[in-house]
Structure 1
Amino acid sequence: MSERFSFTLNATDGAARTGVIHTPRGEIRTPAFMPVGTAGTVKAMMPDSVRATGADILLGNTYHLMLRPTAERIAALGGLHRFMNWERPILTDSGGFQVMSLANLRKLTEEGVRFSSHIDGSKHMLSPERSMEIQRLLGSDIVMCFDECPALPAEDKVVAESMRLSMRWARRSREAFGDRPGHALFGIMQGGVTQDLREESAKALVEIGFEGYAIGGLAVGEGQEAMFGVLDYAPGFLPEDKPRYLMGVGKPDDIVGAVERGVDMMDCVLPSRSGRTGQGWTRRGAVNLRNARHRDDPRPLDEACGCPACRNYSRAYLHHVVRADEIIGSMLLTWHNLQYYQDLMQGLRDAIAAGSLAGFVAAFHENRARGDIEPL
């Protein structure tokens, strides 16, 4: 185990990279997909089951945990790792995105954001300093700067003002974070879909200096083409020797495209949320288990998958428990989806290491284009 936070780049294939993030709580193989455990749990999963899929790190959420059960309570109970029984690394986001998207009656100033809780209407203030304090109380291994994320599309002037505010907040986050060996603070690049704003943001962050860098403000309504357009240049503005994290992404083809463009880390609620709504992600695309075509089908959801849902149950059974709203439906499909995502990441890591990424990506798209297996 490493006593400090560091990043080793092992191989590249075009812009794509594979390596290892070293932390005192364990290694994170990159490119990495981080399951989202918003409120101290990956919904419908036990922590050891999440680990069994191949996940090296989870994501927790500052906004949700500060409101319930509170960061102070979690700290008194031994920190988030002990609280949720996950001993490996945890990344916590800063709360900024949720304040913008969920909170009521928010007021944004240079100091931070005053808002009313979406749970009970209680009043709160979230600033760079408070966000750093909450994430310290949670004990997260990778801490995110407090930033503002405007919804796209937005005028360049609005995006520029928001980005510059986020850069001032990034400096305050760095100062408030202090010296915490073994823990890392990541800066967040903003700037919408405008190249010169992205470059200005990256320069400001690199000047402050962080252990890793995130590409924020994407997957917020701009569409895949615009997102890939930004990713064609944005990772290149960031230091090669530090991890690059694309926040809130995404669908499997988003992930593959991001990795091709030099991204090392991603997170998304999609695999777990889809699992709770009867959708399974497979090598041949998404499958809706609610559809009647599955009710007499004895075949597995994905014969190439080794998860319990595919190993032990038929499509007919999954269809039945999903339609009956049985909890096991959410459990099995969430496990399957997380397994599929982690298998995809392992495939990407292996292909980059072998210098065969182009072939892997071509096969990935070819399989998905075939669509689901023929009905019986």
Structure 2
Amino acid sequence: MVTTLIAGQNAKLANQKLTFRLLVGNVQNVSLDASAILLANTGKVSSDDDFIFFNQPTHPSGALIQQEGATFAVDLSNVPGHLERIAFVLTADPGLSALSDGYRFELTGTTDQFDFSGQGAGRPEKSLIVCELYRRNGDWKVKAVDQGFAGGMAPLAEHFGVDVEGSPDQASPTPTAAPTPPPKPQEKSSVNLSKITLDKKGDTISLEKKSASFGKIHINLNWNQTAGTGKKGLLGALMGKQGGIDLDLGCMFEFKDGTKGIVQALGKHFGSLEQPPYIFLDGDDRTGSINQGENLYINGKQWSDIKRVMVFAFIYEGVANWAETNGRVSIKAPDQPEIEIQMDASGRNENFCVIAMLENNNGDLSISKEVNYFSSHKPADDHYGFGFQWKTGSK
């Protein structure tokens, strides 16, 4: 049975030998390249041999072989111990927006069968990390990444530590042909990420205003409704019942003048975007079945008055297994890269997770990955020092 992944979702692999295949729809006047990069725990290659492409189709270990332009044979049992991740990359010239029918990948083994479909329309990036296979606690997992780079193959490869060489005059292949080696840039290329993932707890990024304000800051929570095994569905896996899990998004906030408050569906504190607290929760998805998930908005025109916003999610009822939710939060602001935070946890059964902290750092927007788990709102508040008085609430 084929498991269809969504962006950011991961799944455990049962097979060591797999075939990865990248597919695109009918395209014209588009040059496509497919490649793969084996990475150490530093996020970099250990040598240029770890970059697999047309002129170098086989990794010395035998762990990865590019059989055709868009098909790779993978043998995870041969991956050297110092390498922990395999990233599969698609490059499109003049850009992903030319893939009007989108793209998809298939990952198959004896029992493993996964696929993913991504969109190209409206995306100006030229390179895309499509999928990753990664080692975690001795097991291998697959993750649908769908993360774009504004530059082409050369800056992306250099980002991973590859010493890029080649001729800029080499022709690019057709969609079904084998990929050409990346050209050598005329000068050092800077990598402009269209999506930045904060991987580790404590990772922080600071966004500078590019106009008078940050505009509308959009915080989205989404999760996988179909996780779990058997016929119980997600809630059967998480809470022993039939149905979808009620994973709620909210925040605690503090203004520079000392004003504090909370925005969440519990107690119907949905806030407001145009008047204090200038933070608004647009609804309450009790199942996770709404494609857009749950959305929190901050009026960036008022960011100068805000001191900090603590973004959280919690299970309204039942016993949580956060590892099964594949929960993820994205934070977007106009003219800024998208920031993604995965709610990665294994075996955590607390009902409350502090996902991120947004802080006003001399006018800049500083975002840090927290992913700290608590039994409820109060111990989270005690930890972060908001100082609210708590009582039992309902929706």
Q: What TM-score do the two structures reach when normalised by structure 1?
A: 0.29
Question: Which of the two has greater strand per residue?
Answer: 2
- Structure with higher Rg: it is 2
Ranked by relative contact order (alpha carbons within 8 Å, sequence separation 6 or more), the top structure is: 1
Q: What TM-score do the two structures reach when normalised by structure 2?
A: 0.28
Question: Which of the two has greater helix per residue?
Answer: 1
